[in-house]
Structure 1
Amino acid sequence: MTPPTGRPSVPGDAPRPLIAVPARFAASTSALRHEAEVTARALVEAVWRAGGEPVSVHPHAPGGRADAAQVAARLTRFDGILLPGGGDLAPHRYGALDVHHSVYDVDDEQDGFDLAVAQHALRAGLPLLAVCRGLQIVNVVRGGTLEQNMGGPGLDHRHLIHPVTPVPGSLVERAAGTQKIEVSCYHHQRVAEAGAGLTVTARAADGTVEALELPGAPGWFAAVQWHPEDTAHTDPVHQALFDQFVAAAAGRIRPAA
């Protein structure tokens, strides 16, 4: 089945909806020589193909705490938010007392900012697409918990392409236009307990939560544990998720005064 396209038309010099993408801290990049802030090229290209204007946003949360009013003010100009993948969320953020040895790339400032962004997006009804770490961020914002490690080689979902089954009628299923999706994954953690109000709308064969939605949310929202950007350039099923997201953001553009 061909997935429905929600791709907004962007004729001529019409403004593209602005999509905020929180940057990821990187210890080094060869071109920049020093510490950097990065955004995955595949993600921004998927947003661009969908008709959006991806904008990297600096994560600012000194001491791991973001000012909610400041975050809201910074995001006012945007029409949608894409929470990308990245390193692990600090276990204390979801009430874990011990830290598994496999937890990696924890950054307190990154965590504080991402959590505040997700909180604001859900409250304000900004269209929100959350990918991999992004799904886990939303789950924790809603009071959910994570399994710190899925069991190591052969049990985690690193470098794995596998089928997931979306719930019929869910936003993910409607966007994909199919009842079985082959997805590209890279994660060693997963949802343990879903947060308040969140509904599981796709699972893998091993029971891993692969998508979450929030029925009754004021704005468009979908979270997926896989990386749709990995194959969106060749697979319309995965590009359709970005198309639907950007279409929702396009509906929020206010006409110029």
Structure 2
Amino acid sequence: MTRPLIAIPARFSATTSALRYAAEVNARALVEAVWRAGGEPATIHPADSDVASRLARFDGVLLPGGGDLAPHRYSAAEVHDSVYDVDDLQDAFDLEVARRAVESGVPLLAICRGLQVVNVALGGTLEQDMGGPEREHRHVVHPVAIRRGTLLEQAVGAGKAEASCYHHQRVDRLADGLEATARATDDTVEGFELPGARGWFTAVQWHPEDTAHEDPAQQGLFDALVRAARQHGERRGRLPDHP
């Protein structure tokens, strides 16, 4: 069976084992989770041009985690000392991918930085730092409560999940139209969706790829993305219909 093609924007890396120079990468666990779901993961080069036509070749999009967005993208506030790995080209590309994916209705799963990118792309803001090591969600696995009747609940198959987190920033103000679908016990927005969106879309602040190999609830997010991507590809005639 032809695998739906899932676009995953690359992350810039200054050094990478086995390569002599700077690289463009994606997490192996992320790629493997898409593959297990039946998708064909394709890393795409961050180039802020002709994004709409480039995305039109794909059946789905996955916006992955990564470094921080430049604060000037969503706020005029002074830059917090903890902001790291900002790259203007990466930001410009990811933001355009988010806008184009939502506008076109191509199935979209956004993870960690990806969630933050979508929020900013649609006009929301971020909290630059959650308050230091005692309050941030780095190297943390904690329960999140999931709203009933959401695409997120359908994907994970439950009203709660154990979320593997690695972030020191979080949503401050949700963009107009977005609705929170999951929260941590400290009220951090751990997921959101866009009711009435043209296509399948959900976003999570945690990293489902960390535990997807052993947790069906986390793998369920990738399964749901690929199912939606297959349906999208079939409607466009790019993929053959299957029973």
Q: TM-score, normalised by structure 1?
A: 0.90
Mapped pair 1:154 → 2:148:
no
Count of residue correspondences: 237
Structure 1: gaps spanning 5 or more residues: 1-13, 61-65
Q: Which residue of structure 1 lines up, in the alignment, with residue 7 of structure 2?
A: 20
**Pick aligned residue for 2:24 from 26, 29, 37:** 37
| 2:36 aligned partner, one-letter code | R
C-alpha separation between the residues in 2 aligned to 1:108 and 1:192? Answer: 21
Shift of 1:95: 2.2
Higher RCO (C-alpha under 8 Å, 6+ residues apart)? 1
| 2:60 aligned partner, one-letter code | G
Shift of 1:256: 6.7
* Mapping of residues 167-206 of structure 1, within 5 Å: 167-206=147-186
- Range with bigger deviation, 126-135 or 92-101: 92-101
Shift of 1:185: 0.1
Deviations 1:72-122 (A, max 9, x none): 111111000000000000000002331000000000000000000000000
Report the 3-state secondary structure (helix = DSSP H, G, I; strand = E; otherwise coil) of the residue aligned with 2:181: strand
Shift of 1:255: 4.8
C-alpha separation between the residues in 2 aligned to 1:103 and 1:28? Answer: 20
Q: Which residue of structure 1 lines up, in the alignment, with residue 40 of structure 2?
A: 53
Q: Which residue of structure 2 lines up, in the alignment, with residue 233 of structure 1?
A: 213
Q: Which residue of structure 2 lines up, in the alignment, with residue 125 of structure 1?
A: 105
Mapped pair 1:89 → 2:69:
yes
When the two chains are superposed, the root-mean-square deviation of aligned CA atoms in Å is 1.1
Report the 3-state secondary structure (helix = DSSP H, G, I; strand = E; otherwise coil) of the residue aligned with 1:244: helix
Percent of aligned pairs with the same residue?
A: 66
Q: Which residue of structure 1 lines up, in the alignment, with residue 92 of structure 2?
A: 112
Structure 1 runs of 4+ with >6 Å offset: none
**Pick aligned residue for 1:223 from 194, 198, 203:** 203
| 1:33 aligned partner, one-letter code | R
2:4–2:239 contact (8 Å) kept in structure 1:
no
Q: TM-score, normalised by structure 2?
A: 0.96
| 1:51 aligned partner, one-letter code | G
Structure 2: gaps spanning 5 or more residues: none
C-alpha separation between the residues in 2 aligned to 1:97 and 1:153? Answer: 21
